[in-house]
Structure 1
């Protein structure tokens, strides 16, 4: 149903694997890891413009907060008039509420597609359908634009001794299937790679939330619903990453880490750029007054 998303995502992953595979070798685990990381970076670059617009919309919404509250109070008994005045205020300031949620609506199917493509390496093959089937079984079927040989390469690729296609909780039968592909990996070997990725992803999720909340207006932070959501973002979501990490294959953990690291850097760069623009506007206003 979402093949129009799965095929482009698969194509980007194939491109980066081809690039890094040409240097490091197509079966190299680092080449596959870098392909996943740069797949995330490519998608985030494509979504950068909507993300910047989202930040601008959020900032404008905070600036209009007092005026919006005043209108709500003034026309509390007349919803139709209140809506009309709200539209006038938004039009006057070029405010588009849709831009506040559009990036999230665009990102959701894209990253669902990315997650699906990575999992599909472990689900290819007629009648397999289970996460973590053996490389020998899956190698007979292609995965979107990846050939059967590419699927085999992904399933047998290792990062510091751990196959990137397995999770800490992968059953022993799945691990035993790697006997002819570099030896059977141990849970300890997989955990030694997966746990640091889980910790980094959890910390990045926490600090992303902290950076976002630092930009929140005092009025929004004082709202009880916002306060509850802030706690979820700061503590529950990062803990959720740690709790769910053992069930995710290493390739998906790489996606999670790289996505969070990109978000952290993007927030600081975008906010710094917008702060400079606003400072320049204020300076221009002062000069005109003088």
Structure 2
């Protein structure tokens, strides 16, 4: 049904198994070879999802910046959900971001986890519960392939031991599941729950701690407006405490290889968050410094008076006196005859008209 997931996942796992199998001192049947194959399967998938993760971080930051506007829209259109949805789409289009990009890396890892879990469980199809459990006879199980893995690869996986524990074994598995490890042609001593717990319990603890650290780092990046929302506060508590506890509770039911996947995936997430957030913080700090530098370049120097700026070409053209206008052909105007008085001289009065001069002579005659 989900072969389009199982075959690519098993293909990547097969590729890395062949790569590490050629390393001297390891070999294809070594448990470390299979463990490295699982770890590098994680690294391959996460490397392909690096750019979507960066977009997720930028989208999350953009949403935090728009929280005041989103809050205002909820307050204004809280009862009219259709109008609110339209306004939210308009706001997202205006600022050019898609909130679905923030979920892409997380959603893409879900089918990978499902595919890896199914492929690992399909190496051992004995027993009576869980995915891939087909009640097969141990002899028959050891003579069946597993997607891109051949029969020899299946036997190699069943025989591989990591510190004495099979990679597909879990603490809670029954004895009927353990019988498959005795049926392979290369099988060594049968596994014990003590040996499985010796490697599984530390992996469970590390995976739980890394889950908590990743959640703590994500919560620390939230703005105060986002963190104060009731739904966000509940999700933060779940991510910080409930999810790490769930790893410890569910760990005994998971194969060692899945616990390896969990540790490798959480470790990659932690380092990737540190690197990406540091890079984005540096970009934003540089943008802030560039804005300050441009603002300072337009500011007046110390001791200098602020200038109103350079005149435009049109205003400079208006200040130039046309020779024709300076001659007598130009129409006289009251403002044109006014001249600025020189230093120490009395201000001149406008030219009197002939009527005013005649009235002055009449007064003298009287």
Fold agreement, TM-score > 0.5: yes
Q: CA deviation at 1:123?
A: 2.5
CA RMSD of aligned residues (A): 2.2
Whether 1:7 and 2:10 are equivalent positions in the alignment is: no
- Between the aligned partners of 2:106 and 2:180, the Cα distance in structure 1 is 39
Give yes or no for the alignment of 1:225 onto 2:231: yes
Out of 125, 136, 157, the residue aligned to residue 154 of structure 1 is: 157
Task: Say whether the 8 Å CA contact 1:209–1:234 is kept in structure 2.
Answer: yes
TM score, norm. by length of structure 2: 0.73
**Residue in structure 2 matched with residue 209 of structure 1 by the alignment:** 215
Q: Deviations over 1:112-168 (max 9, x none)?
A: 2122222221228xxx95289776432211111100110111111000111112111
**Structure 1 residue 33: deviation in Å?**
0.2
Task: Compare relative contact order (CA 8 Å, sep 6+) and give the higher one, 1 or 2.
Answer: 1
* Deviates most, 34-43 or 92-101: 92-101
Q: How many residues align?
A: 288
**Residue segments in structure 2 that go unaligned for 5+ positions in a row:** 297-366
Distance, in Å, in 1 between the alignment partners of 2:207 and 2:143 is 34
Summarize the alignment of residues 64-79 of structure 1 with structure 2, pairs less than 5 Å apart.
64-76=66-78, 79=81
Q: Deviations over 1:213-239 (max 9, x none)?
A: 111121222222221211111111111
- Maintained 8 Å contact 1:208/1:260: yes
TM-score by length of 1: 0.92
* Matched residue, 2:144: 141
Q: In 2, Cα distance between the equivalents of 1:212 and 1:134? A: 47
Asked if 1:62 corresponds to 2:56, the answer is no
Aligned counterpart for 2:201 among listed residues 175, 195, 218 = 195
In the alignment, the residues of structure 2 paired with residue 253 and residue 21 of structure 1 have an alpha-carbon distance, to the nearest angstrom, of: 22
Within 5 Å, which residues of 2 pair with 1:115-134? 115-123=117-125, 129-130=132-133
Query: Structure 1 residues 117, 179: closer, same or farther in 2, change over 3 A?
Result: closer
Q: Aligned match of 1:283 in 285, 289, 299? A: 289
In the other structure, the counterpart of 1:252 is 258
- Which residues of structure 1 form unaligned runs of 5+? none
How far is 1:10 from its partner? 0.9
Which structure dedicates a bigger proportion of its chain to helix? 1
Alpha-carbon distance in 1 for matches of 2:266, 2:29 = 26
Contact 1:210/1:234 (<8 A) preserved: yes
